[in-house]
Amino acid sequence: MSNKKLKIGWFSFSCCEDSTIIFVEMMNDHYFKWKDLVEFRHVRVLKANNLLSDIDVAFVEGAIANDNDEKQLKEIRAVSKKLVAIGACAVKGNPSSQRNEFSEEKKKRIEPYMIRWGLNQKVKTLKDCVQVDDFVDGCPMAEEVFSNVLNKYLKEFGVV
């Protein structure tokens, strides 16, 4: 085994962060293996000192609801060699994008909030905004699919 580690980032936008919880729960079984293979370069849920640079794989949870989030997503994309959409909101938009399908009456009711907080008319998926290399769907994400994607990149980046 090489000493090289896969430099990962874990980010979230509009969502309930269920996949973040699943990721942290998967560590119950996998942490002592992952710690030798993975550098947790930007994982705000686990650490304060994070680096937004030179990321091999960015795992991104959540949908994009405003321009600022889209700008941040593009910044993540620019410093990451690969970007993986994590969970239903990131992959399909839902349930964060349920307001896209609201009736006119409901849309009118939420309009003051949309204006006050600068929310875009439509909630977008990640691939509506940036190039996405892989998708781990599910609400929360499917653990096995995430493991497969992680293992794929561990091989692709020459870590294992």
Which residues of the chain form contacts with other proteins (CB under 8 A)?
12-22, 24-25, 27-29, 31, 35, 40, 44-50, 65-66, 69, 95-96, 98-99, 102, 106, 109-110, 112-113, 117, 119, 139-140
Pick the closer one to other proteins by CB: 26 or 133.
26
Dihedral angle, C-alpha 124, 133, 22, 148, nearest 10 ° = 150
Instruction: Give the nearer residue to other proteins in terms of CB position, either 100 or 133.
Output: 100
CB of 61 to other proteins, least distance (A): 9
User: Cβ closer to other proteins: 44 or 155?
Assistant: 44
**Cβ closest to other proteins, residue 133 vs residue 139:** 139
CB of 122 to other proteins, least distance (A): 13
CA 60 to chain centre: 1
CB neighbours of 113 closer than 8 A, spacing ≥ 6?
Answer: 119
Handedness of CA 67, 69, 75, 76 (dihedral sign): negative
In the three-class reduction of DSSP (H, G, I as helix; E, B as strand; rest coil), residue 136 is classed as strand
What residues pair up with 84 in beta bridges, in sequence order? 59, 134
CB of 116 to other proteins, least distance (A): 8
Q: Which residues are CB-contacts of 4 (< 8 A; sequence separation ≥ 6)?
A: 157, 158, 159
- Residue matched to tokens 């405003």: 66
CB of 132 to other proteins, least distance (A): 20
CB 155 to other proteins: min, Å: 23
* Nearer of residues 40 and 81 to other proteins, judged by Cβ: 40
